[in-house]
Structure 1
Amino acid sequence: MPNSAAVEVSVVLPCLNEAETIETCVRKALQGLADLGVTGEVIVSDNGSTDGSPAIAGAAGATVVHAPVRGYGGALICGIEAANGRFVIMGDADDSYDLANLGPFIAHLRSGRDVVMGNRFKGGITAGAMPALHRYLGNPLLSWLGRTLFTLPGVGDFHCGLRGFNRDRIRELGLCMAGMEFASELVIRAALAKYSISEVPTTLQRDGRSRPPHLRTWRDGWRHLRFLLVFAPKRTLLVPGLVIALAGLLGTACLLPGERHAFGVSFDVSALVYCSLAVLVGAQLLLFGGFARLYGIQEGITREDKHVRWTRWLSFERCVLAGVLFGLAGLVSTVVVVTDWGTAGFGALDPRVTLRVVLPSATAIALGIILIFSGLFASLLSLRPTGRNGPGHPAAAEAESEIPAQRQIAEAPRTSQV
């Protein structure tokens, strides 16, 4: 093995029962580095294999580390921590990526790029290497969302598993997602930190395994999408919610006095129903955006903006106060309507008149109830148990499972040579 102080590139491969392909991957990566004249190493981060993969990898020339946190991200974080190189190139251990052709990644990293993404759509995907659902829907859609939400016009393959980065710069981000979301977290955090990101073509071939892949289409696709939403609640929830709520309020204000005509169309109480609905839907989206942001902050996934700490408005007290005010306003309006109805002898009323008061009143009451329970939910998201010191405490096991992957890895033994 090379002197750790002289290592320039570390190739990190997460591994879970890859006995069929791990030797090929290790030898390809080592030979590729040698052909380039690069001093490097291969780190295989084992995630609990039971098929002898660690021993095979070690015999092929890799340094094997054992990840204490299960999951794709947990294995990669452990491998990155154990890497000695200035640059890290992460890949898969299923022989689907061209680990013998890492020159373009290394060239971009040497030029000062913080992150270099592979693009399988530009490099070439062999027949059967990627399911049609992933190739034509999943990857293009999630990549488009990533580019749009985080202003990454140069990243055409958001979820390519072959990518390189400056090890120290990535460690500064404090990556913590233990699952498949790690792939999105790395790019998103790098983009938010204004890191320089470039892209190079790479190829994808059919993997060499006889068993199904670990990736689960719908489960992992949803986890990636959920992660994008947590990191970008402003664009995905807050802005749409604000637009819908304001449109509903404007429509309600216009229709309260009476029927309106525009573009040759008459708008009356039927339109008022949908305006009230828009107010409720917009408010829900705003609250969900706040919940997503609060969850990300509390779990250490995202950070609160020091200049705009708007999540403070989701405190239980503020939400209850706003909810009570909206509820009282709705109740007062309802009392007025019922009083007028009583004056008329509780007989038939003109719905075109009464609904102009009933609908906003009911909407205000509903909004008040939503706000009160939203404040309760927000306070539950903020709760943290305090008695975590003793291993016998009931919350200890649960608390241990909440520790981010990077923290657990830092507390565990770093490497073991096979």
Structure 2
Amino acid sequence: MPSAGVLLRGVSAPVPSPAAAAPELTVVIPCLNEARTITGCVREAMDALAASSIAGEVVVADNGSTDGSQDLATKAGARVVPIAVKGYGNALRGGIAAARGRFILMGDADGSYNFGHLPRFVERLRAGADLVMGNRFLGGIEPGAMPWKNRHIGNPILSFIGRLFFRTGIGDFHCGLRAFTADAYRRMDLRTTGMELASEIVIKSVLFGLRVEEVPTVLRKDGRDRPPHLRPWRDGWRHLRFMLLFSPRWLFWYPGILLMAAGLLLGGALVQGPLPLGRVTLDVHTLLFAAVAVLIGFQAASFAVLSKFFAIRAGLRRAEAGFDEWFRHVTLEAGLVSGTVLVVLGLILSVGAVWIWGGQGFGPLHNPTATLRWVIPGALCLVLGCQMILTSFFLGVLRLDTRSETA
């Protein structure tokens, strides 16, 4: 079979001959030194294809194995695709680039997933689903198949965060056995090269409005005689970080609005005078921190708006009617007017503080806390107004219409 090189975002993989009849399903198995289990995985997938009369192929995306995994996979009936660039995501993307099926199912090469379940994935794809996720908690986890910290802490927490952040009902965000259409894969335009790819597939499917479904599958104890490539705490953090970066609402907006509200409420009470709370009395020192909370909160909330607008503009997520309607009122002119009003208010409060100081001969203040109740709100309005003006200008830059070189 001829094999020409094609570059997929830094991943080189051979392209099969277009003359061969395209199968319905391609099973992609990333592999790195899995000689003990790769034969069983390939044969299990081939047997399931034959038993279900599904026209399919098995592609093993080899990421530089040195234990003979490539020959074993070939003898078992797979087409081996060498992927030079290291990384789980690179291996998968390279294997998918070489896939010929209109449906693609991916699964690990360690024997932990049952490729005999592939017909249930194909059934849902034929029915119109774009992405079909396996759910190990519905299908069953064999004893010793998943460490307790993954089963009871990592996976449940990350899956809950994923459901909360992206408003999806997926129960097992990180199941490695999943299937999707080739068209959906192209629309996802995946960018990550490591373990985050698993999260990116789900998140982009949800953000782009693709139809996502789940089917039960089992998790078996893997057949390795060495520790897995997965590093639970490190890879868990990478998944969480990726979800946060794709959810400005939870990373920036909610914390920012909460900080601003708390700072304004507390500051409003302290401007009027000391605030006794039982045996503790809050005064101007707390007023200063309340002002800082408002500033940090505004910056976080503005980042949320800017990052979401950029993500929609860059095609990383789809536009939302509610956001578009609200965002039409967030203009450069409105920001300039609001920021200028705050700056003027800050100047008035600052002048008032100087007036009080002048009444005492510009010498030591007899009651500095009274003056600080003018100085701190004045400084807050000045800085907040300047932030609002600068943010409005930056938003104006992002909104500029651009055209291609050929336009």
Sort the TM-score into its range (normalised by shorter chain).
0.7 to 0.9
Contact 2:356 2:371 in 1 (8 A): no
Deviating more after overlay: 287-296 vs 113-122: 287-296
SS in 1 for 2:115: coil
How far has the Cα of 1:138 moved from its partner? Answer: 1.4
Letter in 1 for 2:127: S
How far has the Cα of 1:326 moved from its partner? Answer: 6.3
In structure 1, the residue matched to 2:241 is 226
In structure 2, the residue matched to 1:53 is 69
- Are 2:304 and 1:289 aligned? yes
SS in 2 for 1:281: helix
How far has the Cα of 1:254 moved from its partner? Answer: 4.9
Q: Distance in 1 between matches of 2:47 and 2:221?
A: 21
In structure 1, the residue matched to 2:405 is none
Q: Distance in 1 between matches of 2:326 and 2:37?
A: 49
SS in 2 for 1:102: helix
In structure 1, the residue matched to 2:9 is none
SS in 2 for 1:23: helix
In structure 2, the residue matched to 1:387 is none
- Are 2:100 and 1:110 aligned? no
- Higher RCO, 1 or 2 (CA under 8 Å, sep at least 6)? 1
- Are 2:151 and 1:127 aligned? no
Counterparts in 2 of 1:296 and 1:229: CA distance versus 1, 3 Å? farther
Letter in 2 for 1:53: S
- Are 2:161 and 1:145 aligned? yes
SS in 1 for 2:117: coil
Q: Distance in 1 between matches of 2:242 and 2:330?
A: 23
Q: Distance in 2 between matches of 1:97 and 1:160?
A: 9
Q: Distance in 2 between matches of 1:58 and 1:297?
A: 43
Structure 1: segments with no counterpart, 5+ residues? 383-418
In structure 2, the residue matched to 1:207 is 222
Q: CA RMSD in A?
A: 4.0
TM-score (norm 2): 0.77
Contact 2:208 2:318 in 1 (8 A): no
Counterparts in 2 of 1:134 and 1:298: CA distance versus 1, 3 Å? farther
In structure 1, the residue matched to 2:372 is 355
In structure 1, the residue matched to 2:88 is 72
Q: Give the 5 Å matches for 1:304-383.
A: 307=324, 330=346, 333-334=349-350, 336-345=352-361, 346-364=363-381, 367=384
Letter in 1 for 2:130: D
Percent identity over paired residues: 47
Counterparts in 2 of 1:128 and 1:331: CA distance versus 1, 3 Å? farther
The Cα offsets for residues 339-383 of structure 1, whole Å up to 9 and x where unpaired, read as 52243142243244222112223434555787799899999999x
In structure 2, the residue matched to 1:96 is 112
Contact 1:244 1:279 in 2 (8 A): yes
In structure 2, the residue matched to 1:35 is 51
- Are 2:190 and 1:175 aligned? yes
Q: When the two structures are aligned, how many residues end up with a matched partner?
A: 379
Structure 2: segments with no counterpart, 5+ residues? 2-15, 400-407
How far has the Cα of 1:108 moved from its partner? Answer: 2.0
SS in 1 for 2:190: coil
The Cα offsets for residues 260-291 of structure 1, whole Å up to 9 and x where unpaired, read as 7999x987546534532331231232244356
Q: Distance in 2 between matches of 1:17 and 1:119?
A: 26
Counterparts in 2 of 1:313 and 1:69: CA distance versus 1, 3 Å? farther
Q: Distance in 1 between matches of 2:80 and 2:335?
A: 52
Contact 2:60 2:80 in 1 (8 A): yes
Q: Distance in 1 between matches of 2:312 and 2:95?
A: 26
Q: Distance in 2 between matches of 1:74 and 1:308?
A: 39
